[in-house]
Structure 1
Amino acid sequence: MGGKKKSMVIEKGSNKVLQQNNNEKRIGLESELFSFSMFKGYVCENHQENR
């Protein structure tokens, strides 16, 4: 019984770490997407000015 409880706690801990990693990845992706859309908007604006 004691061993089972211990593994549950370890699983919970690793799940927390996984969630944190996923959050960091998502934040990284979001900031990349944001800078990409900003860049795209900037390029589009310049193209319209050049026409």
Structure 2
Amino acid sequence: MILVVVLYAWFLLAWAYSRALVGAMARPFAIWRPRPRRRDDGDVFENWWM
């Protein structure tokens, strides 16, 4: 039972770290991303990561 709790804690720690890393890298990579295409009404047609 303790092993399951330890593995779950490691999973949560790795998940939180990966989310923080993605959030930290989003700003530098936003410099090089292409501008989103826009429709005639001005809405964003698709997200830049799609």
| Alignment TM-score, normalising by the size of structure 1 | 0.57
**Residue 17 of structure 1: aligned partner:** 13
Task: Please report how far the alpha carbon of residue 37 of structure 1 lies from its aligned counterpart in structure 2 after TM superposition.
Answer: 3.3
Q: Looking at CA atoms only, which structure, 1 or 2, has the larger radius of gyration? A: 1
Q: Identity of aligned pairs, percent?
A: 3
Which structure exhibits the higher relative contact order, with contacts defined as CA atoms closer than 8 Å and separated by 6 or more residues? 2
Name structure 1 gaps, 5 residues minimum.
42-51
CA RMSD of aligned residues (A): 1.9
Name structure 2 gaps, 5 residues minimum.
36-50
| Alignment TM-score, normalising by the size of structure 2 | 0.58
More helix by share: 1
Moved over 4 A (4+): none
